[in-house]
Amino acid sequence: MPAPARIREDVHLHAPAHAVQQRILDLNTYDQWLAPAFRDFRADDEGWSFTLVLPGRSEQGRLRRGGIEAGAVTFVRDGDGAVEALTWAVHAESTREVHLTVELTYIPAGGLAGNILEATLHRPNRVQALRDSLWAFKQLVEQR
């Protein structure tokens, strides 16, 4: 099995840190801003599941809340799936300015074909799905 890989993306928000963190903790609203590549979304009080659709590959994610500390909310794998963890970190820069980072840890496809597809298609599409989600999240939080 390949070693876990990580993607980290960030966005600047014009909103109070507590409002951003509350939105991150409200799992039932994720379907309002997750990118279209995240399908079959389901949430309950402690976790959420989805299918991340990539070219030629779909990855299941079932995450449960792993912890909240110092402005960071971590979700960890709950069962099988390629997605191992997702961490949101809220960095308050002022009363209405936040730098939000998200880090996705996942297991890429293995083998020669998997390595080639990871570099050329899968990773870039994962990055774009995170960027699209962050942009939609920004629009929602800033109510644009």
23-38 pLDDT, tens digit per residue, is: 999 999 999 999 999 9
From first CA to last CA, the distance across the chain in angstroms is: 43
103 φ, ψ (degrees, to nearest 5): -125, 125
* Nearest CA among 65, 84, 83 for reference residue 75: 65
pTM score, whole prediction: 0.92
Residue that has been written with the tokens 């074909």 in this structure: 113
pLDDT of residue 1: 74
CATH T-level topology, domain 5-141? Alpha-D-Glucose-1,6-Bisphosphate; Chain A, domain 4 (3.30.530)
Whether the per-residue pLDDT at 144 is higher than 80: the answer is no
Whether the per-residue pLDDT at 121 is higher than 90: the answer is yes
Percent of the chain with pLDDT strictly greater than 90: 84
Name the residue ranges covered by the structural domains of the chain.
5-141
